[in-house]
Amino acid sequence: MERNTAAGDEREFLQLVEPVLPLAHRLAVGLLRSPSDADDAVQSALLSAWRNFGRFRPGSDLKPWLLTIVANECRRQRRSPWWSVIKGQGESAERSFESGMTDPAVADLRRALYRLPHDQRLVVILRYYLDLTFDEVGQTLGISTKAAKSRTYRALERLRLSPEVRPDE
C-alpha cells in the first residue's frame, strides 16, 4: 500500500533521512572518489528516495534502503557516457585528494580498492569504511548475511592477492 506524499510525509522523510546523510555521503565519496561528485550523487539519490517514499514500509529501517539508492546512483553516474569525459578532467582533483593523505600505504590501498569491481568495492566500503555490520551490509545489498560475509572475504582476498586489480568500468 503506497502512502500519499503530503506535508506530514515530508517531515517524516526528513526526520528519517537526516541521521543517515553522513553515511550516505561517505559511501558516495568512497565509490566516486570525489566529494563534489558525491554531493551530486547524494542529492540525486535523495530526490529518487523522496519520489519513492510512498513505497517505503513504515517502521522499516531507512538506512539500508537509502544506502542502496545512493550506491545505485553512484553506479549510474560511473556508467554515464559523461563519466569518462569528466573523469579525464578530474584526475588531477583525485590525485590532490589522495595526496592529502600523509601515509602512502593508505593512498595505495585506496587506489587498489578503486580497481576492484563495483560490487566488491561496495561491500568493502559498506563493511569497513561505514562500519556496517554484516547484517546491515546484507540488508543494503538485498542479500543474506552469509552472502555479505562471502563477498567481503572474496573482495579482501582479491586485494591481498593482486595489487594490480583490473577495473570493472
- In a structure prediction context, what are the per-residue pLDDT tens digits for the chain, which is 169 residues long? 444 445 568 888 999 999 999 999 999 999 988 898 999 999 999 999 999 998 888 888 899 999 999 999 999 988 766 655 555 544 444 454 455 556 777 777 888 888 888 889 999 999 998 999 999 999 999 999 999 999 999 999 998 865 554 555 4
What topology does CATH give the domain 1-89? Rna Polymerase Sigma Factor; Chain: A (1.10.1740)
State pTM to two decimals: 0.73
State the pLDDT at residue 143: 94
Domain 101-169, second-level architecture: Orthogonal Bundle (1.10)
CA distance linking residue 72 with residue 68, whole number of Å: 6
End-to-end CA distance of the chain: 38
- CATH 1.10.1740.10-classified regions of the chain: 1-89
Distance CA 129, CA 59 (A): 26
Task: Give the integer Cα–Cα distance in Å for 108 and 155.
Answer: 16
The segment(s) of the chain belonging to CATH 1.10.10.10 are 101-169
Residue matched to cell numbers 568495492: 121
Rounding to the nearest 10 degrees, give the CA dihedral for residues 148, 73, 166, 99.
-100
Quick one: which of 57, 48, 50 has its CA closest to 7?
Answer: 50
- What pLDDT, on a 0 to 100 scale, did the predictor assign at position 22? 95
Task: Specify whether the CB–CB gap between 9 and 3 falls below 8 A.
Answer: yes
Distance CA 137, CA 126 (A): 6
- The predicted structure's pLDDT at residue 137: 95
Query: For position 2, what pLDDT does the model report?
Result: 46
